Structure 1
Amino acid sequence: MSETQPDPQQTDEPVTPVLTAKQAKRANATVIGMLIATGLTLALCLVPVLLNPAPKMQARNVDVAAAANQAAGDAGYQPLALELPDGWSANYARWNAGTNDGVPNWEVGYVTPDTEFISLTQTNAANPTWIFEHSGNSTVSGERPAGGVSWELRDSSNKDSTLVAEIDGQTVILTGSADLAEFDVLAEHVVRELRSN
């Protein structure tokens, strides 16, 4: 048996391919083309998104008074059914039995004349934890007088504002994206209605 002699031209070092200038240009053209195609696709997808503005709150004109009268028996108090100025409308009104958080409450969603939103929540069984959670985990930033009552003003991380007040044994929370002047209008009507009952 004869031994094979190693080929002096073979080495253990890996061979590194060398691209010619034309090959390198073709390889880069594929990557550049892919990037251009991806950019154009993204641009085409963004055009419809940018051309469609975010939807504004839609008015539904819910009969709040009828819903409040229906909820009054369960609530043990008269839920608020406010007579607001022209331009205001309600898009929902509901009684929450408190099965999830232990605090039964009345809720109404209002669309303001500027088509912003403010939710009204009313209860006679509030506690500090529930208020904190129901006001979007917002922090107290001051006080705001409205309707002859000093409301606690809270600000949240999502830029919504919240007003909280206890009026004649009822806790009322107003939360939404509207301007504070519109909050004042709603707060004044809340105080007037609660004090007239």
Structure 2
Amino acid sequence: MKHGFSSPAERQECENGIQMRDYRSVSETQDKSTFNNQTAGPGSPASSEGTPDAPVVKPVIRAAAAKRANASVIGMMIALVVSVAAFLPIVLMNPSPKSDGYRPNVNVSAVAQNAAGVAGFTPVTPEAGDTFRPNYARWESGTGSGVPTWEVGYLTPKESFIGLVQTARANPTWLLQQTKNAPVTGSRNAGGLEWELRDTGKGERSMVLAHKGTTVVLTGTAQLDEFAVLADAVVKSLESNPAATVSPSAAPSP
């Protein structure tokens, strides 16, 4: 729509009026926006969006549900106590057997008698009392070493070990092997005879005796007093047996 103006002044006055109306419209819009923000409460959607700490809803267990849960726990505890009480008398009436461990039943005399036919001498069967328990007795043909031997192992009263080896074909190399290359550290009398004493210095020692055609070596970790008891029994067994019929190839130095 076109307006006719009689002069430029009228046209300028009309444009000024239009601009004033636009300014009033913008001002009214801003005033309404400010009023709405101020009147919005904390529970309104506009305010809740900027609230960082919203309250956490905690579940509430009803009294009946809590009572049922407690009853289940108590029932389990009662059942456990009843089960233990039922089995406890059975356990008490059947105590575990007291045992000193496995003790093999080794008949040294019987094994020695079987070995005597091939040994060429009567193997020693020392009687050192019940406190020295044999855990093996055997005849070794000496296929690898060339030295056939009679061997018996003993557990001592102090729970140590002494191994007995007897042969009629001892030699220096074999003797060093039996004594773990231990040097001669002295001698000790047992059974009325002088035994050669060797010690590795690492807790293992040996007593060596050459008598009546055979060589006997005692080696182990036991104390010398236990060695002496077994050595004394060995001498008694040697004295009761005939001399060896096979000549030894070598004997340990005294």
Question: Normalized against structure 1, the TM-score is what?
Answer: 0.69
Q: What CA deviation, in whole Å up to 9, does each residue of 1:87-113 have, x standing for no partner?
A: 111000011101111110100000111
Which residue does 1:146 correspond to in 2?
190
Name the SS of the counterpart of 2:116 in structure 1. helix
After TM superposition, list the pairs within 5 Å mapping 1:1-197 onto structure 2.
Answer: 59-197=103-241
For residues 58 and 76 of structure 1, the distance between their equivalents in structure 2, rounded to whole angstroms, comes to 33
Runs of 5+ in structure 1 lacking a partner? 1-55
For residues 133 and 58 of structure 1, the distance between their equivalents in structure 2, rounded to whole angstroms, comes to 30
Contact 1:59 1:111 in 2 (8 A): no
Contact 2:126 2:236 in 1 (8 A): no
Name the SS of the counterpart of 2:163 in structure 1. strand
Cα gap change, 1:133 to 1:146, in 2 (>3 Å): same
Contact 1:62 1:93 in 2 (8 A): yes
CA RMSD of aligned residues (A): 1.6
Q: Which has the higher strand share?
A: 1
Find runs of 4+ consecutive structure 1 residues off by over 6 angstroms: none
For residues 60 and 146 of structure 1, the distance between their equivalents in structure 2, rounded to whole angstroms, comes to 28
Cα gap change, 1:173 to 1:58, in 2 (>3 Å): farther
Runs of 5+ in structure 2 lacking a partner? 1-99, 242-254
| Count of aligned pairs between the two proteins | 142
- Largest Rg, 1 or 2: 2
Which residue does 1:18 correspond to in 2?
none
Letter in 2 for 1:165: L
Question: Normalized against structure 2, the TM-score is what?
Answer: 0.54
